[in-house]
Structure 1
């Protein structure tokens, strides 16, 4: 009896030990080091297993006997590791990515069973789209890491790189299981509150705390505005997701059948809810469409999770992979809000001797509050920093992170902090910023811009210049700017000086005073071409067209009245001193005059309903509109006082919009209309911008000559369409080149009143012929049509233009070819 009891106790004890066998670990991507959520972890040879959570962690408790553990996940090679006899053990996995097979499944008859699931999910989109909430707000945590990866042997042998790697003793800590090195260069963490309001749709993020560490990062305030969750928004209930300025079609878009195929893999249990597991395939590998898996609730047909990838075969430059993983949680009102989102963007090597980049973004959201909308005025500024946003120490972040940092991320922080202090790194990072911005920070001032250091043209000969501007270290209320240049041929000093007082940074309000003496060209004024630096530089080298010396003084005021609505007003006096043969007839006396003076008062409004604006140091920076057009309305009044020679008025309206055309690509249009009231010399008319250079610009009519047409009333429309991969993606040989089609259509209506025509004599007082200006027939528009190819060798674009009207004008060319270089994805 005692022996039987003894064996029973041994059996029970062994059962208890077996029942308490615990296997835990983490599954990560071998290339990026990021967690792999939703992976299947199985005791090999059994049906016992678990799926990893969003952080890639798993715990399996079982009494089932097994000698190994297997991990598998779609898009990765499976991996198996042996188990030990220990009651508790930790086994980590690093999986290598594999490619999806797009045609792995063939259905013999009947409809694909996954189609009905997708059809029902699409029908329920409005019910679960968070944009249908009246309002919501969340507390968000965001972290961003940027690494240099694919570090080639030739890259590491460079002297500058060796100086870095010799300092970084900890570089061995940051390798994957294949021993491939990664070099982190940026890491940020942000705690913020995100606000959304519907009707009208408005968004705002208040950054409460931000911690930014990065190579070349000198001002955390600017960076902190773009590292929060406002720029990490991925809503798969939209038909199209804008990522890196490209439009990607959602797997549950209204037109899903034209882009995707699906396969129903399984029905799984996720947090107590049954969900369909579907594999997603793009119909064409070059399309901007996703591959991967999605989970759809079997009862409600709401999205539960997504794990989607844009592969390197897609028509993108430099991008080898974009991966988005997301978990969605239902709100009390029904619509879903992402609780956790992870994004990886892998940028490949441009050449075999360079390195690649890996950018990783993570956002988690909690403390959701619904249907308590803020006032419209609350959304005046899209991103706001708390006054003490950068004051949080390490103890604060340990206590307030929604997710603790991994040991790898802690090593990243240490390495980035070391990197940014190495002299050679500082030299190269400052040099890149100098090239990109035109200015070199030196203490409290920035020196530049470098394009103004040297010029050469027929009027000035060799021109040497230098300028500066103050930065945020000098003041966040005062901005001082200055520039001076001297021409060795004309021996004239040119200068620009300005002082700006920032009266209010939250509701952007400034007052500025500017004085300038500069050489300009009729129709090619610096002020109107400030955003087209390459075209402006090309037009100012060599022979200047109708040059004049401009001396002006400006007083300007601007204020944001409410979200997106900017009011501006100003007073300006200008002196026009021609450097070419120019005369006009004075209205009262009929005398020939060449110089004139103007005094103008100007008022304008600009409205961008969904335009995103951030404050970069002491300037406003626009990220453009996402859906609605931008409007600008300006009225200028010229006075015959304060030495003004003319009495006139100018009225103009400008509209810009970006249009998503779905599978056809993206369009942009710019429409402009204006009218000048009164009699003025032709330099004060609207001198329409032509382009005689070899370079393409969207600011000009590309087959029109300089100074070919001027108007006192006009309407123009410049339309550009980018086909992305449409059409060319379907041509077998061309699609491998990833060329993309573009199209242009530019039309201009204009006219000039007789009084303004009479102001421009065709002969000077001595009877010599004078250049005047060309005029459009009010019934005959100027029209040019263009087509072209961009993304040639990833950088170049060639446009072919046909001039359709005014072919008999002197110097008119019916056909033109323009080239440009651009870095686009």
Structure 2
């Protein structure tokens, strides 16, 4: 009996000594609902604590309890919650962001101890940069959510919005702690395989499964190509990271010392590894640089975790916040692969009467395989959809999600599905698509393009038109396209029509037959201005310059043989019928003629080594190149026969390149060179594009007059530089305005052979003097310099141009001011 009592007493004492109190929970951002990883969770008054994992979860055990639990993280307001005496309890925290004062750090004499850590981390970048692997592949899960937030009362009271708010108010989870509503408009989940190969550097993503739901989304195939992990890749071992088409310097870049300051906060455990915890912040708050926290492993100086934001003071427009959180793991070969990445981008309201946008991106990877490169031909298509990419049930997503969808995310899905069926939402979403694409979908037919609906100029008077094209619902192998228009002054019909057969979507191969009759302008041809739709539309209003009827019938074929390498060819039968005073001397009949016919055989190649191409329904769409220039070479053979009047050859080279110049911003150059062989009238030659309008355009020489110069041999280099915040970010008063300096330098060499000059009469048939084309002296280039400021009131740009040569030409002005409006971040 006594022994049993002693045993029971010993058991009770031992239990009380060994008793463990367990506390778990989740720490999230009160504004966005996103997890806050790496937050500090500490029992008040003790040193017992832990940090949250990447999903914001924590699990804390202690032999004793205090009265409360404290949670803190840099950039957020510290929060405390009371504890009960329960052995197991769950306590969740919602932290609110706080302004971070960059001037609170004070350094004593001597070198900042954080500098040596960063210096060693930079020295070992090549050891851990995944780009040093010969190849790697991963399986990825990507989740994207886009919401409308900052729903002001004025916005909510609009008649069109009121029809939505009743539904919005019924879903409790779509609020933050202060009851502010968010309006979800898009949600996607994607499972994919990502492949990388070095030497040559190639990337490919295969979308295995995708689920896309969103307002205005009718077909998920195009959207699914840009919701995978390839577009959510952030590598801090690069010197510069591209976000929203802006380049931000990495905290461990080669130029770290000129861009950042650091503070060594602590030495902490991350998993089983001891890491230095460092605070980073830009030296100039307007620079495109990060502030936040990074964790660098103590034994090898590898980057283990990042939690970084773009300060609100950075020289960006409409961006309230950009936040990147990333966790990295070592591959079997050593270099690090991001295992989890979360990105938040918050776009502010354009005005008090509008709403903002909140975009969330999450990527988790597993099944990492390294140094087993695929053949180069495997990378021919940058993004590939498996045939059954969208055919999957709910069970698949439950098994393949790294974590279940939260209550808030389930509410988002419910809301998006509801919104899609509200008539006013469909009206606005379809209207926005109509404005952006030019076409309105009506079943299997798209009606448009809207710029053809109405026009007015001195030749046609009022012009009305209508067109259509078939879409993927009609066929994924055939596309029919056309429009018909008529001017009320000239009473002439204009039209364009084409039929395209898509033979192969993997190695993009298509065959197209077309026919058109339209009014064109010498030097302002529609075919040459397709990429400058605003300038093209403006040039077709008002007074037309050197107008003519252009009739064309032809056949085109193209095929992409390997990634980035596209070959094209075709035949064109054309007719030139001038509507202005034009004559040329026919070399066969030695008589003056005003019109002519052409028969052309065309061939060309285009190569963009790392150009990103997606398939948008039945068309290819380029998202630009990442690093390398894009080349295009074209050759045309004009035949005197088979309906053609002229014998000539055209050879041209075009190069475009975007260059990241680090702190100096971004440069872009275009090289255009060519030669026309043969005796031809000047509309066949290169009529260089000028700009007599008040508005700035990158498509033209901005101090040159319309049709001022013509060449049959030419070379032009147009360079423009966006300095971002360089220079102006350092000027005390100007930096608050967030103005950005820009520059231009355009040079053109050209000439015309004497035999092409001789066939243009200096007088008309009645002996009156005639205006002919202008010529360049190849030894004296046309040269213009420009400089200016963009981002004035966030929208406007002013450029000042100086014309440096050919100042004696009639109508030439040495100084021009051009203005433009643009929507840029």
Cα shift at 1:6: 5.2
Contact 1:535/1:695 (<8 A) preserved = no
Whole-Å separation in 1 of the counterparts to 2:342 and 2:638 = 56
More off after superposition, 342-351 vs 758-767: 758-767
Q: How does 1:475-554 map to 2 (within 5 A)?
A: 475-554=475-554
Paired residues of 2:168 and 2:183 also in contact (CA < 8 A): no
Following superposition, the deviation at residue 797 of structure 1 comes to 1.1
SS at match of 1:35: coil
State the alpha-carbon separation in 2 of the partners of residues 217 and 704 from structure 1.
44
Does the residue aligned with 2:399 lie in a helix, a strand or coil? helix
**CA drift at 1:770:** 2.2
SS at the partner of 2:413?
helix
1:279 aligns with 2:304: no
1:176-255 to 2 correspondences below 5 Å = 176-255=176-255
CA apart distance, 1:715: 0.3
Partner of 1:807: 807
In 2, Cα distance between the equivalents of 1:393 and 1:762?
Answer: 76
Q: Does 1:728 align with 2:702?
A: no
Contact 1:495 1:516 in 2 (8 A): yes
Matches within 5 A, 1:306-317: 306-317=306-317
Structure 2 residue aligned with 1:136: 136
Q: Give the whole-Å Cα distance in 2 for the aligned partners of 1:211 and 1:549.
A: 49
TM-score, normalised to structure 2, is 0.99
- Residue 311 (structure 1) shift: 1.6
- Alignment correspondent of 2:668: 668
Where 1:103 maps in the other structure, the secondary structure is helix
What is the CA distance between 1:10 and its match in structure 2? 3.3
Residue aligned with 2:171, SS = helix
**Which sits farther off after the overlay, 555-564 or 810-819?**
810-819
Give the CA deviation at 1:484.
Answer: 0.7
CA shift digits 1:766-822 (9 cap, x unpaired): 112222100001211000100111111111111111111111101111111111111
Distance in 2 between residues matched to 1:370 and 1:453, nearest whole Å = 55
Q: 5 Å matches for 1:541-620?
A: 541-620=541-620
How do 1:71-470 residues align onto structure 2 when only pairs under 5 Å count?
71-168=71-168, 170-470=170-470
The reply to whether residue 696 of structure 1 matches residue 673 of structure 2 is no
Task: Give the Cα–Cα distance (whole angstroms) in 2 for the partners of residues 594 and 731 of structure 1.
Answer: 60
Instruction: State whether residues 728 and 734 of structure 2, in contact with CA within 8 Å, keep that contact through their aligned partners in structure 1.
Output: yes
Please name the residue that 1:12 is paired with.
14
Contact 1:498 1:512 (8 Å CA) reproduced: yes
Deviations 1:255-300 (A, max 9, x none): 0000000000001111101100000010000000000000001011
3-state DSSP of counterpart to 1:425: helix
CA distance in 1, matches of 2:576, 2:770: 18
1:238 match: secondary structure: coil
| Residue number in structure 1 paired with 2:636 | 636
**Equivalence for 1:624:** 624
Q: Secondary structure at the match of 1:316?
A: coil
What's the CA shift for 1:588?
2.3
Secondary structure, in 3 states, of the residue corresponding to 2:604?
A: strand
Q: What value does the CA root-mean-square deviation take over the aligned residues?
A: 1.0
Distance in 1 (CA, whole Å) between partners of 2:171 and 2:741 is 44
Q: Map of 1:785-796 to 2, 5 A cutoff?
A: 785-796=785-796
Indicate if the aligned counterparts of 2:342 and 2:363 stay in contact, CA closer than 8 A.
yes
- Please name the residue that 1:749 is paired with: 749
Q: 8 Å contact 1:165–1:171 — kept in the other structure?
A: no
Conserved? CA contact 1:170–1:415, under 8 Å: no
Report the CA distance between 1:536 and its aligned residue: 0.9
Q: Distance in 1 between matches of 2:53 and 2:399?
A: 22
CA shift, 1:180, in A, is 1.6
How many aligned positions are there? 823
1:241, 1:569 → 2: CA distance?
38
Counterpart position of 2:56: 56
Deviation at 1:322, TM superposition (A): 0.5
More off after superposition, 396-405 vs 330-339: 396-405
Report the Cα offset of residue 11 of structure 1: 2.6
> Structure 2: how far apart are the matches of 1:105 and 1:543?
63
Determine if contact 1:172/1:181 at 8 Å carries over to the other structure: no
Range 497-506 or range 4-13, more displaced: 4-13
- Return the offset for 1:171: 2.9
For residue 104 of structure 2, give the secondary structure of its aligned residue in structure 1.
coil
Q: What is the distance in 1 between the residues matched to 2:778 and 2:56?
A: 68
Q: Distance in 1 between matches of 2:403 and 2:509?
A: 39
Per-residue deviation, 1:590: 1.6
Q: Give 1:167 deviation, angstroms.
A: 2.8
| CA deviation profile, 1:83-119 (whole Å, cap 9, x unmatched) | 1122111100000111222122222211000000000
Moved more, 219-228 or 767-776: 767-776
Offset of 1:9 from its aligned partner? 3.8
CA shift for structure 1 position 12: 2.9
Kindly state the Cα deviation for residue 5 of structure 1 after the two structures are TM-superposed: 5.5
Once the two structures are TM-superposed, the CA of residue 528 in structure 1 deviates from its matched residue by 0.2
Contact (CA 8 Å) 2:65, 2:85: kept in 1 or not? no
The answer to whether the 8 Å contact 2:607/2:630 transfers is yes
Cα distance in 2 for residues equivalent to 1:183 and 1:650: 55
State whether residues 539 and 693 of structure 1, in contact with CA within 8 Å, keep that contact through their aligned partners in structure 2.
Answer: no
Q: Supply the distance in 1 between the matched residues of 2:78 and 2:169 (Cα, whole angstroms).
A: 33
Q: Distance in 2 between matches of 1:538 and 1:409?
A: 45
Following superposition, the deviation at residue 556 of structure 1 comes to 0.3
Q: C-alpha separation between the residues in 2 aligned to 1:715 and 1:696?
A: 22
Equivalent residue, structure 2, for 1:764: 764
Contact 1:745–1:786, Cα closer than 8 Å, also in 2: yes
What secondary structure is seen at the aligned counterpart in 1 of 2:451? Answer: helix
Q: What corresponds to 1:677 in structure 2?
A: 677
Q: Distance in 2 between matches of 1:382 and 1:403?
A: 28
Task: State the SS of the aligned residue for 2:340.
Answer: strand
Mean CA deviation greater in 678-687 or 793-802: 793-802
For residue 172 of structure 1, give the secondary structure of its aligned residue in structure 2.
Answer: coil
Q: Are the counterparts in 2 of residues 205 and 384 from structure 1 also a CA contact under 8 Å? A: yes
Cα displacement (A) at 1:201: 0.2
Secondary structure (helix, strand or coil) at the match of 2:314 reads coil
Provide the C-alpha distance between the structure 1 equivalents of 2:502 and 2:794, rounded to a whole number of angstroms.
Answer: 42
CA contact 2:168–2:174 (8 Å) conserved in 1: no
CA separation in 2, counterparts of 1:70 and 1:410? 29
Structure 1, gaps ≥5 residues long: none
Asked if the contact 1:582–1:771 (Cα under 8 Å) also holds between the matched residues in 2, the reply is: no
Q: Distance in 2 between matches of 1:346 and 1:286?
A: 18
Moved more, 102-111 or 212-221: 102-111
Q: Report runs of 4+ in structure 1 exceeding 6 Å deviation.
A: none
The Cα of 1:436 is off from its aligned counterpart by 1.1
